[in-house]
Amino acid sequence: MIRIPSGSITALLSLSLALGMVGCGRAAPSGESSPHTDEDHHEGAQHGEDHEAEGRGGAIHLAHATQQALGITIAPAEVAPLEQTLEVTGQIAQDTDRLAHVNAPEAGTLKELLVTIGQQVEAQTPVAVVLSNPAGASVHVMAPRSGLVLGLHTNVGASVDPLTSLMTIADLSQVWATFDVYEQDVALVQVGQRLEVRSVAYPERMFPGKIVFVSPQVDQHTRTIKVRAQIENPDYALKLGMFVTGTLYIPTAAEALIVPHAAIQRLGDERVIFVQTGPETFEARDVHIGNETGRQVEIRAGLNAGEQVVAAGSFHLKAELLKGTLEEGHAH
Tell me the mean pLDDT in the region 47-57.
44
Cross-strand bridge partners of residue 243: 91
Note the CATH number of domain 97-170: 2.40.50.100
Distance separating alpha carbons of residues 299 and 317, to the nearest angstrom: 20
pLDDT at 23 over 50: no
Tell me the mean pLDDT in the region 66-74.
87
Whether the CB-CB separation of 175 and 94 falls below 8 Å is answered with yes
Give the pLDDT confidence of 244-274 residue by residue, as tens digits.
999 998 877 678 898 988 888 888 888 888 8
What is the identity of the amino acid at 64? H
pLDDT of 325 reads 53
pLDDT of 143 reads 96
Tell me the mean pLDDT in the region 147-174.
96
Distance separating alpha carbons of residues 149 and 119, to the nearest angstrom: 5
pLDDT at 56 over 50: yes
Who's near 120: CB < 8 A, 6+ residues apart? 146, 147, 148, 149, 236
Give the pLDDT confidence of 96-136 residue by residue, as tens digits.
999 999 999 999 999 999 999 999 999 999 999 999 988 88
Distance separating alpha carbons of residues 254 and 299, to the nearest angstrom: 13
pLDDT of 13 reads 37
Whether the CB-CB separation of 60 and 321 falls below 8 Å is answered with yes
Q: Where are the domains of the chain?
A: 84-95+174-252, 97-170
Integer CA distances (angstroms), 18 to 8, 247, 321, 322, in order: 15, 40, 13, 11
Note the CATH number of domain 84-95+174-252: 2.40.30.170
Least reliable range by pLDDT among 49-63, 212-226, 241-255, 317-331: 49-63
Least reliable range by pLDDT among 16-30, 120-134, 284-298: 16-30
pLDDT at 40 over 60: no
